[in-house]
Structure 1
Amino acid sequence: MSNAKKRHLTVLVVDDNASMRAALRGIVKADGHDVVGEAAEGKTALTLIRQMKPDVVLLDMMMPVMDGMAVLTEIKEAGLDTTVLVVSGNQDQALIQQAFSLGAIGYVTKPLNPGRILKTFEQIAIVRKPRDDRPADAAAESSGRRCVIVDGDAEVRGLLKTLLGGENVEVVAEAGDGMQGLVAIEEHRPDLVFLDVDMPELDGLNVLRCLRAVHPDLRVIMATSRAEGEIVKEALSQRVAGYLLKPVDAAKLIAAVRKALGKP
């Protein structure tokens, strides 16, 4: 993302360690973003989220009074409009998966990795663009037949485009990696996204997490050669409309598209 187009985010830092809050504050400010508040425990954090409405919450897991998981739960249940990036020393995989299931966009383990934090901020800045930035033609009433394909294989993209055309689904954009995909989705606001798992720059599961943070109802079909149980479980937990294995079976693709778009 070029500096000319870079969006500055408002950030709330939540950690019970004052030194850690200072370190996070420094990372955020050095990249040109605004720290609008800090909290040392969960209840204060929730109050500030409601008052300040930050774009991003940097959230620790282990805190007194109310821990990070309870904060995530309340954010999800209350429908608070913010994006949560967990920054924690706890590397328990079950905890990490639970955080993602509650809507966290990412999970960065301590000691701090500024590069990972800022890379996630770049993704958040893309998906949290104001809705007024949406092009006029995309803002018009949708026919329910507009699709963005995000896949690292040009041959697969071509095949998908051909099959979708047979269903009168317009492919409004294609992307070969996850970051390009996020940009295309925000630019065109499609009704359906085809998303691969294995891609350069940003993989499909991370793209899906970004999308769910701000577009919880966007219909996504994943098309991938990977059938590992944990990957499928993660995709299903993010409410994908379909999970297809490559090579893509035309009949299964068409059935998934019709189901996702509510077509007979």
Structure 2
Amino acid sequence: MFTDSHCHLTFPELAGDMAGLRAAMAAAQVTRALCISTTMEEFPSVQALAARYDNFWATAGVHPDSEDVHEPSVDELVAATRLPRVVAVGETGLDYYQMEERKGGRSIADLAWQRERFRTHIRAARQAGVPLVIHTRAASEDTLGILKEEGEEGGPGSAGGVFHCFTETREVARAALDLGFYVSLSGIVTFKNARELHEVAALVPDDRLLIETDAPYLAPVPYRGKVNTPAYVPHVAARLAELRGTTVERIGEITSANFTRLFPRVSS
């Protein structure tokens, strides 16, 4: 019934009890999950996990915050997408959040390597014919600008993809939708103070909406502050149902259909 479109099941908080995690998913009617790569060093474990279980799939990519890791070429990423059960490139994108605290006082100009990495991932996705899983935080102008410069405007040859764990403004959501991208909402939408995100949740069209946990992070209410798991994605769906004036079953239905449409390899 429900699909978790973005989670990190190889992270140590979750990897040690896969049997328990999968049993909890089944009990919560969470039937599928997309396991996300954040480094190429991690990718073999992510792909192996997806290959082991028939309701898991994988991505290949390097998170914008990952430093001092192997920097893949377009050819390496394309080759990774040819492995079994790999359905997307990412997560990739830009992260300028709290530059002073998190990035040692560096300026946006100093993060040219992030932008070049993002371009590499976009080019690989287009060449491989798979969608992008995009992370953008405090960097929406550059994220959208680079996508446009690389030809990602929804036309022929575009990779398309999803803006995952969306936390930006309504204007950014509209711009992402205008480029042909999907918008995925996480447990943050259940937080009372996420008022602008509540408005975003109401404006995304039915056929462009996804849900996710980003597990093991960002657990939804009533589990906020605890380790997150794909079994909690129905709580995201329930809050979206309230915000959109529909049923949780309907949210499960449309987001699962959208997942299959965006990632057609999951049904092949």
Same fold (TM over 0.5): no
Q: How high is the TM-score relative to the length of structure 2?
A: 0.32
Alignment TM-score, normalising by the size of structure 1: 0.32
Q: Higher RCO, 1 or 2 (CA under 8 Å, sep at least 6)?
A: 2
